[in-house]
């Protein structure tokens, strides 16, 4: 990326060319992929939404943005359940100032709240990867931030979709919403660690109490933007073959269907 900028300077020496290159260079391309499946009730979805809005407006968030190499990120957002929710996509917006962050938070706050059937983490990852690959920006890091409250039970298998995203240099982090007993026998955070997240420095952060949601979202955004190494208590991706059955959600759904 910065080599490309140097080549542009060397070839043309035109300030406008350099400025144009600088406009697309950002520290992070960050996609927020937010679960709105019906396994969460309206109140939980509302508090989740408010957690993201509060995090985006918080001083820690903009301080993390300003502390980067370019002092600039781009962010986008969508909601998903068994599919990516039509009309939920908030397209890329550059965040460089407090006002930029407030403008994005206000767009999110204006969205109606609704829930949908099923859980397709694979659809969320595929949508996020498509948005990043087609992005007009050039990020030092490219991150999909997936929040969810259950294992994949719809669409393509999650591991194959995850591996395709990792193959093009995308990092996937997770926020495991564990407000109720997990459908994943070993725990949803373990399922996310083994089956969902991946890439350098990837992590999953569990949320076990709804009142902790806003702090958890802010903590995760700051870590993603800053490129910080996850603390020891945060689950990291397992090496080698996952201990978790990454098809557990599909099997549970099939068992329910066959009753």
Query: Which residues on neighbouring strands pair with residue 207, listed in sequence order?
Result: 177
Q: Does 202 map to a domain?
A: yes
Q: Does 238 map to a domain?
A: no
How does DSSP classify residue 211? G
Predicted confidence band of residue 183 (pLDDT cuts 50, 70, 90): low
Predicted confidence band of residue 210 (pLDDT cuts 50, 70, 90): confident
Per-residue pLDDT at 75 exceeds 80: yes
State how far the Cα of 247 lies from the Cα of 189, in Å rounded to an integer: 15
| Secondary structure (DSSP) of 119-130 | --HHHHHHHHHH
User: How many domains, in total, are found in the chain?
Assistant: 1
Q: Does 240 map to a domain?
A: no
Q: Is the Cβ–Cβ distance between 206 and 188 less than 8 Å? A: yes
Encode 146-189 in three state secondary structure. Answer: EEECCCCCCCCCHHHHHHHHHHCCCEEEEEEECCCCCCCCCCHH
Q: Is the Cβ–Cβ distance between 183 and 248 less than 8 Å? A: yes
State how far the Cα of 9 lies from the Cα of 169, in Å rounded to an integer: 26
pLDDT above 70: percentage of residues in the chain:
83
Q: Does 30 map to a domain?
A: yes
Quick one: pLDDT at residue 2? 36
Quick one: pLDDT at residue 143? 98
Q: Does 106 map to a domain?
A: yes
Q: Does 41 map to a domain?
A: yes
Q: Does 249 map to a domain?
A: no
Per-residue pLDDT at 4 exceeds 50: no
Which is more confident, 256 or 128?
128
The tens digit of pLDDT for each residue in 39-73 reads 888 888 888 899 999 999 999 999 999 999 999 99
The tens digit of pLDDT for each residue in 29-38 reads 999 999 999 8
**CATH code at position 204:** 3.40.50.410
Predicted confidence band of residue 244 (pLDDT cuts 50, 70, 90): confident
Find the range with the poorest average confidence among 14-23, 184-193, 217-226: 14-23
State how far the Cα of 138 lies from the Cα of 242, in Å rounded to an integer: 32
Q: Is the Cβ–Cβ distance between 153 and 119 less than 8 Å? A: yes
- Parent domain of 177: 24-230
The tens digit of pLDDT for each residue in 90-135 reads 999 999 999 999 999 999 999 998 889 899 999 999 999 999 999 9
Q: Does 112 map to a domain?
A: yes
CA 134 to chain centre: 16
Quick one: pLDDT at residue 241? 57
């Amino acid at each position: 990326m910065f080599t490309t900028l140097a080549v542009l300077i060397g070839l043309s020496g035109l300030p406008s060319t350099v400025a144009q290159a600088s406009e697309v260079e950002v520290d992070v391309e960050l996609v927020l992929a937010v679960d709105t499946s019906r396994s969460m009730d309206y109140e939980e979805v509302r508090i989740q939404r408010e957690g993201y809005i509060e995090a985006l407006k918080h001083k820690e968030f903009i301080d993390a943005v300003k502390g980067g190499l370019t002092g600039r990120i781009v962010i986008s957002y969508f909601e998903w359940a068994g599919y990516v929710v039509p009309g939920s996509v908030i397209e890329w917006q550059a965040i460089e100032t407090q006002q930029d962050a407030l403008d994005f938070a206000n767009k999110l706050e204006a969205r109606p709240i609704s829930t949908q059937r099923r859980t397709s983490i694979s659809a969320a990852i595929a949508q996020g990867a498509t948005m990043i690959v087609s992005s007009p920006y050039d990020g030092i890091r490219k991150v999909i931030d997936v929040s969810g409250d259950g294992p994949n039970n719809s669409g393509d298998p999650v591991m194959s979709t995850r591996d395709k995203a990792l193959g093009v240099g995308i990092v996937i982090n997770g926020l495991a919403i564990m407000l109720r007993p997990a459908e994943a026998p070993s725990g949803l955070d373990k399922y996310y660690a083994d089956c969902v997240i991946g890439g350098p420095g990837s992590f999953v952060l569990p949320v076990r109490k709804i009142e902790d949601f806003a702090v958890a979202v802010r903590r995760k955004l700051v870590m993603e933007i800053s490129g910080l190494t996850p603390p020891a208590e945060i689950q990291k991706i397992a090496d080698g073959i996952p201990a978790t059955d990454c098809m557990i959600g599909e099997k549970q759904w099939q068992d329910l269907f066959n009753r």
